Amino acid sequence: MTGPEHYHEGEKYLHAAETGTHVDHGFSVGTDTQALYAHIATAHFTAAQATATALHALAGYAVTRPEVQQWQAITGPDDARNRRGA
């Protein structure tokens, strides 16, 4: 998975954990599943952050796709939209 794909999956699992719904089908899930979804979201966000860090470390790396620029901005630790707590 690419960094943006990990970030998208993390958002999907975080939303499911916050709302208590199944990640794909929308029906209610128990607290154990919510906790599992939160852990899965954390793993995806960690992978996205590692990818963002590697991309930022490359000298001369130019991002031209708007969705990638937005993903890199959101994965920054000082961005208010960063719900991961990183």
Q: Which helix (H) or strand (E) holds 76?
A: none
Report the C-alpha gap between 59 and 85 in whole angstroms: 27
How crowded is residue 68: how many other Cβ atoms within 10 Å of its Cβ? 15
pLDDT tens-place values along the chain, 86 residues long? 877 888 889 889 989 999 999 999 989 999 999 999 999 998 988 888 787 777 766 645 545 556 566 666 665 555 555 555 44
CA-closest candidate to residue 28, choices 38, 15, 36, 19: 19
Supply the pTM of this predicted model. 0.67
Amino acid sitting at position 42: T
Report the C-alpha gap between 7 and 36 in whole angstroms: 17
